[in-house]
Structure 1
Amino acid sequence: MASIRERTRKDGTTSWAVLWRDADTGKQTSRTLATRADAQSLTDFLNANGQSFVLAAQAASKMRSTAPPVATVVSEHIEGLTGVSAGTREKYRRIAARHITPTLGAVPVDTLTRTDVNRWVNAMTVAAKTKKNVHSLLSAALTEATSRGLVDANVAKGVKLPTGEARREPVFLTAEELDLIVATIPEARHKLLVEFLAGTGLRWSEATALQVADLDLAQEHGVVAVSRAWKRAGGEWVTGAPKTARGRRSVVLPKTLTAQLREHIADKTPADLVFPSREGPLHNVVFHRLVWEPAMRALAGQLRARPRVHDLRHTHASRLIAAGVPLTVIQRRLGHESIKTTSDTYGHLAADADVAAAAALD
């Protein structure tokens, strides 16, 4: 523990020396101050920070700073963003509330150090991708704070993030496996939803936001117009634009699925949801708990791998690739903003299909 000793100088004046064994150097250290109050302040800071003068100095600096805290800087950054949807802004607010504010929120932004950021990153017990997203939000806010003159540099920039756990590989269901899943699901409306997701490649948020008016089933091959998706805003689910600009698209339906949908919507009005729950919108978490999970438990050991609902979208893409459909067509059908997304996710399947095609010519 740090202690104070009163000393009398040769000229008769008094000074106060603070003595402690520094945690960083391991050496007995002292510092002389002009007033008892200053000596007591340093002693208190040292005792509160494990006898580390560096940490004590940082703590003192934070107390004296007049800069806004990190929480305010991040919040102002989020609210000032342009070109983002209400749902995206709400997502950023949740990220800040869960992962930034509890640890760094009260720290004056001009006293935040690289060490603070490193410790914060290391302490986060989330997936590597989530950690990267959270760090990116903080770093963007600090970059803006730098441009505003609040800080000299962005101390979060260049922080090395862990690569983390391996990405979960998509599950590509065979036709037989998909039929098995559909047969295991009890209700006809849920069976049709699974077949629809696998037959169109739509995202869950897009498929469950569809209204009857979005379906044109007059021809043998029906067409679905995708123009909205469910998003979270202000703690509520609302419909907004699809995930990407290319998410607005028309998707041609298989013949069998077209016929099934005609029967399914026969007694619905144009404004009705195509795939509602009994109480309103059908949310993924409810479907997963009440329908998907029971089906997966019933099929334990009968599938090569345990799929997620989103793997129905992957399965759709894999079937198109196996049929020789170009990646550019698949990109438009899935609503990917960039062909790189399509290629990165499914390119290896296209290569496998090309090898199989070459082998067929031997």
Structure 2
Amino acid sequence: MATIQTRKNKTGETYRVGYYDENGKLKFTPTFKNKAGAEKIAHIVDTRGAEAALRLIGAKPKSNAVTLREWFAKYLERKSLFLEAGTIAGYQAEAERTWLGRLGDLPIEAITRTDVYDWVRWQAEQETHRSKQRRVREKSAGMKKPSPIKRVSPANDPKRPRATVARTGNCDP
């Protein structure tokens, strides 16, 4: 269970969240200027753990665990024995462009499904080269800005024509 500690100084009060690490040692987060922020982090410590809370505020938990970035560098080093330098560079560039920036600094054991789902959601919202080109073409053609894309399942699309098959099993029109 996380606790909130109030600290008084010349400029007012600051707050920090106390939690116990995996060895049972009491540790504290960096300080917060308002109590509401400390309460939110304390809730995250209680529900998702200290590592998730520290990741959220940008503090790096001290750990000997291998991060995804370190593992990927070793993986590419092994693959470089069998692959061309350009292929390795392409893998590295693709990883940097997509998942390494968001997930790379996390210890491998700490990556959860939620982290991956959040990354997939974030990735889907990113603008692509193709979408930038489309917007430039539409602007030069004098078209209105398109409305945001709504994600609709094809099975639930009311405009989609439904195929009907007679009870006889004959699919010919």
The alignment's TM-score, normalised by the length of structure 2, stands at: 0.43
Q: Which has the larger radius of gyration?
A: 1
